[in-house]
Structure 1
């Protein structure tokens, strides 16, 4: 997930790379972050692609809840979203982060994707990587004296948000702020590339050069895996998330200078196939090692929206743009078909009707790719493009795209780039899609490949009016497995709908209880989102 400073994005026309602005693609292809290429509560559940499923009966009426992943990317590289400035105090950073979570809650999201390894660095005390300069304000590797990752995970869970730790795997550094671009002398003293210079490749040339861990060097590749798994081991994350950076986006006239490792490990393959094989190995091993360590942790990728054009491969999409398969050596379709991912979030950052990469054509293509694989499909939405000239000057462009999502049951949610644009709500576009599609709370989609241990039925035992106008309900846990979270349903006429969710241990409450009597049922969910049976109905006086 990329981001500026020079936000640039490339589309391939024939064999020539064009800067996005020239093509009018409007894809912000950030040299660093996920900003990807340029590529009022309703009474009923949102009508988005993921079905609203009946999960039981609350007394005599059916109860149902939408199952949909809703999230946003919180970018740390270059301080694009968070922290606001490098080198802030612990109190400032904590306060800012809590406000970002408030944004997520206000948008009725149930997940947040936080940039914790933007450039070979770390937002946690790591044995494998130096502290991030975007956090500490310095490249000296010195600790800020506290553990941001522990705080961020805990606070997300307190609001019942899944925490997906977002890593840029092979980035080893950012360009030195005072030049030259990549120089060992400009790295933090604790940067492992100083000890293993043979792992480092500088690309491109000039002041924009940065170091990359060489994906073709088995030792470097394993070190990157270990550095990510350290975070999985130490923290209660819900997901491991990569964006579209594997091999770097190509610079015109410059090839990634990995001749030494190719000569040593190429084994007679073409350079392109060898590079793809390196990334394949990394992805397969990451999937295996995550599941061995914590089987419930989800593994997902947000790739560039075009795998291959149909002109290159008959199984490709009806597009005419840069291909992640050949530009970044990311065989994303293969990863889905092989089941090495739990979810995929293609960055479909183009408008409906855009000639070279039409949202309306890519959406069904990706839906077909995941069919029958068990890999869940979420769509990366380009909130950051709202307000651009042309199609993006229409505040309803995102609404139109998400309306299309409804037609494809394979689409089980959206992730929005990025948090700043979600908060800004430019042209009122965010409020429009929130009110139309995120009208009620939603449970995360069930991922059948993960462990399942639904808890027993809890009980509602009493109710009282809370200080903030909520109706607070006292509960008793059910038998069997402990619940990770809860879901509260309220009867409205001939059905019961989801009105609130929360993490186990947090108060159960209806934030907008009607006047008079109301009937409720409560359920518990396990770590993977599997829901147990509903409680017996409970009648509360909400006056």
Structure 2
């Protein structure tokens, strides 16, 4: 009888696998037969993170430096010029406009406290026919940009203009509070009524306008003026010091006046709107020798600005020291000064250095090359600072044929960025929105609870991702037929972000 070999089911499976291995080896050895398509690695579809960086720009209105270009423009012409500035800024990657609205005891907005600025119409007190600040806020937000209202707390104008000042200007309405100093007129910071007036102006702006920040620059006590012999002229506050400075050294008293104002501004602005930012852009050197090797004006001793104290006390949400010197400047090294300021930031506020765009190819002996500003931005990033501010608009966007704006847009600012957060103002993230496709567009529905201030939207079209920053009122995202994914985060006024809502085609 023949022997019958029986295989179990497991044995049959093993033999089948062995046969497949042998066939594969043979096919590979003789090179014959089709081997199938080469495996393609999966495409990475992870969305890029939303970038966070301050990319600010000052729009100076005093003396018509940046806007309007002259006083004879109509309201429509002024609006057209400002719209052009914003469109150019957005194209360059700018995300914050610092708009000068109180240059010298006057107003570039509708005010019941101070007169319309003459820079608008040529005559102080004349209504330009619209509200420039309201217009600026609306148009900046529509382009995904923050609007910071820039005020000068104590500057009151020029002596050459005193006969042209409106009756409501402080020089005429409260002459007892104003000092003539060189060719300038100045509100005396030591007078309590002066500080009250400036705070009432700030409070009025914060209450009535949907701004993202209040911003003050470096003018507190005036920069020292000298006489014909080169001798420093004393600021004429003798009577004020007698009334309010008893028992103090005058320099200490003056610094205390400014410190009191800075602390009060921070506290009272947040009492009105707790989550808008307060920023100051002081002179870039606190004192000579800080850091070692730095020389220049002593802002602490000459204009009584103890800006290091403001940062260390947390009386600002951001500090933008005006570091208007080159990387290679031997006595005012940009990297050294920036590093020193960052070391003083014990409260973890935002430090965004001011950069001197106005020095690019400006024909002076200290002119920058075009590459200096991009290089300073790289230095800033390298020191883990979170952004910069550019002074001024005309030199950033238009001078040299707009070369600086083009350079920024094509490289360092080629992807939109969201302004960094200020979590000490509010650390609670807003709720995640919901998304739905309606009429070919993605519609955003906000979550209940804290309202969004902005949306970040990331769109995937083919294999490419793009980022948009949208003001919260914009709840419709137009998309092309190639868009397959949309991610949206809610951003509150302090910059906290929700988790991302997603729509997929």
Same fold (TM over 0.5): yes
- The one-character-per-residue Cα deviations of 1:19-41 (angstroms, maximum 9, x if unpaired) are xxxxxxxxxxxxxxxxxxxxxxx
- Comparing both structures, which one devotes a greater share of its residues to helix? 2
**Conservation of the 8 A alpha-carbon contact between 1:351 and 1:392:** no
TM-score for the superposition, normalised by structure 1: 0.79
Tell me the secondary structure at the aligned position of residue 257 of structure 1: coil
Q: Please list every run of 5 or more consecutive structure 2 residues that lacks an aligned counterpart in the other structure.
A: 1-43
Give, in angstroms, the shift of residue 318 of structure 1. 3.3
Q: 2:167 aligns with which of 176, 180, 189?
A: 189
Corresponding residue of 1:154: 138
**Conservation of the 8 A alpha-carbon contact between 1:296 and 1:528:** yes
Corresponding residue of 1:97: 82
2:485 corresponds to 1:500:
no
- The one-character-per-residue Cα deviations of 1:416-452 (angstroms, maximum 9, x if unpaired) are 1111111125272332233322121111101012235
- The one-character-per-residue Cα deviations of 1:366-418 (angstroms, maximum 9, x if unpaired) are 11111x31221001111110004567452211122111112211x11111111
Distance in 1 separating the partners of 2:94 and 2:177:
39
After alignment, is 76-85 or 397-406 more displaced? 397-406
Give, in angstroms, the shift of residue 464 of structure 1. 7.2
What does 1:308-457 align with in structure 2 at a 5 Å threshold?
308-310=287-289, 316=291, 318-370=293-345, 372-387=346-361, 388-389=363-364, 392-409=367-384, 411-424=385-398, 426=400, 428-452=403-427, 454-457=429-432
Tell me the secondary structure at the aligned position of residue 173 of structure 1: strand
Distance in 2 separating the partners of 1:516 and 1:493:
6
**Conservation of the 8 A alpha-carbon contact between 1:342 and 1:376:** yes
Q: Please list every run of 5 or more consecutive structure 1 residues that lacks an aligned counterpart in the other structure.
A: 1-58, 178-182, 466-471
**Conservation of the 8 A alpha-carbon contact between 1:87 and 1:134:** no
Give, in angstroms, the shift of residue 69 of structure 1. 1.0
Q: Which has the higher contact order (CA 8 A, sep 6+)?
A: 1
What does 1:231-380 align with in structure 2 at a 5 Å threshold?
231-252=205-226, 253=231, 254-310=233-289, 316=291, 318-370=293-345, 372-380=346-354
Q: Per the alignment, do residues 60 and 293 of structure 1 end up closer, same or farther by CA in structure 2, a change over 3 Å counting? A: same
Give, in angstroms, the shift of residue 246 of structure 1. 0.6
2:499 corresponds to 1:533:
yes
Q: Which of these two proteins has the greater Rg computed from alpha carbons?
A: 2
Q: 1:122 aligns with which of 92, 107, 115?
A: 107
Tell me the secondary structure at the aligned position of residue 179 of structure 2: strand
Q: Per the alignment, do residues 125 and 477 of structure 1 end up closer, same or farther by CA in structure 2, a change over 3 Å counting? A: closer
- How large is the RMSD of aligned CA atoms in angstroms? 2.4
- The one-character-per-residue Cα deviations of 1:455-479 (angstroms, maximum 9, x if unpaired) are 32223322777xxxxxx53333334
**Conservation of the 8 A alpha-carbon contact between 1:318 and 1:361:** no
**How many residue pairs get matched?**
455
Q: Per the alignment, do residues 522 and 272 of structure 1 end up closer, same or farther by CA in structure 2, a change over 3 Å counting? A: same
